[in-house]
Amino acid sequence: MPAKPLALSTAGLDYLAIAQFVFLHAGCLLVFWTGVSWVAVAACFAFYCLRIFAMSAGYHRYFSHRSYKTSRIFQFILALVGCLSNQKGPLWWAAHHRYHHSHSDRETDIHSPGQHGFWWAHCLWIFSLRYRKADQKLVANFAHYVELRLLDKFYLVPPLFSAALFFLLGVILNLARPELQTSGMQMLAWGFFVSTVLVHHAIYSVNSLAHSLGSRRFNSADMSRNNLILALLTFGDGWHNNHHYYPRSARHGFYWWEIDLTHYLLKCLSYVGIVWDLQSPPERIYITGTRIRSMDHLSEHDCQST
Ligand SMILES: [Zn+2]
Ligand SMILES: [Zn+2]
């Protein structure tokens, strides 16, 4: 596996990944030509939320960490909606993420801002041919599902299909509801391009920002951080220090004040039987957390009294 330094060489570039990155970012420039309408911004926001949930609840908490159980049908729905984010298939994503957890912030980590620099951890690692394929052995518990293997193989089809649907929706709205002042190109620009790029950078930030900026409750053997802003943007995955300390938990915000939208939605889904066996942090994790907090309070008190 990779050893320091991880640098992009022309021979090792994944041109397909670079082309997708450039295409998606360039597509956002369409907004200067199409203008904006509230319906286009609403589409952008709704599609962002839907896919952030699928990435957080599906790709991350389910496929990577098996932190709850669900049916094969809902498993496929999570995989399909996650795939709409254009971050490859669930098996590829989960395999790399499992590798990240077993090598967190060591030299062999795939994306560590401390080891390889902020931008490598954020997005440059994806451009390396080294990571184009994932080690299927790391996701053996899911790799036998044919539908997941198909999504991994044809991962570009769902996002392209969604782009076409947004264009079509804009064309229909333009004809049926001209007062909304939208168009096919405007819905494509906001609903697909802007929304997808926002999803990308939110998810990328968990690998870059959540390993460099924020607080550390637990003394995990890595540089993971808890970051409220990131937790809001990623529906809870910004509580990354909690998560690295106890990755099995379906709940990343361990305390009531740590907002974790994915966990709330998973709880709702569990009430209607769509998901079940949600893992929570065991008591010993809370005891450790309370001990650290009281030590923090003591040292704050010491500082104030000196
Ligand atoms: Zn994880
Ligand atoms: Zn991490």
How many angstroms is it from 56 CA to the middle of ligand 1? Answer: 9
CA of 181 to the centre of ligand 1 (A): 42
Stretch 186-193: mean pLDDT:
98
Q: Where are the domains of the chain?
A: 12-305
Let me know the angle formed at the C-alpha of 257 by 214 and 52, rounded to the nearest 5 degrees. 70
Taking residue 153's Cβ as centre, other Cβ atoms within 10 Å add up to 12
Asked if pLDDT for residue 260 goes beyond 80, the answer is: yes
Average pLDDT value for the chain: 92
Residues in CB range of 119: below 8 A, 6 or more apart: 208
Instruction: Look up residue 167 and give its amino acid.
Output: F
What residues does 215 pair with on adjacent strands?
226
Ligand nearest to C-alpha 207: 2
Distance from the CA of 225 to the center of ligand 1, in angstroms?
Answer: 13
Distance (Å) from CA 168 to ligand 2 centroid? 38
pLDDT above 90 (res 205): yes
User: Which numbered ligand comes closest to the C-alpha of 106?
Assistant: 2
Q: How far apart are the CA of 32 and the centre of ligand 2, in A? A: 36
Which of 155, 146, 139 is closest to 63 using CA atoms?
139
Q: How confident is the model at residue 291 (pLDDT cuts 50, 70, 90)?
A: confident
**Distances in Å between the alpha carbon of 296 and those of 216, 241, 299, 300, 303?**
11, 17, 5, 6, 11
CA of 135 to the centre of ligand 2 (A): 18
Is pLDDT at 160 greater than 80 in this prediction? yes
Bigger pLDDT: 220 vs 26: 26
The pLDDT score that the predictor gives to residue 79 is: 98
Q: Residue 157 is encoded by which pair of tokens?
A: 């089809």
* Amino acid 2: pLDDT: 44
Res 306: pLDDT: 45
Enumerate the H helices of the chain as residue ranges. 15-28, 31-34, 38-53, 72-83, 90-102, 113-116, 118-122, 140-143, 146-153, 157-176, 184-187, 195-208, 228-233, 240-245, 261-271, 283-305
Question: In angstroms, what is the span from residue 243 Cα to ligand 1's centroid?
Answer: 7
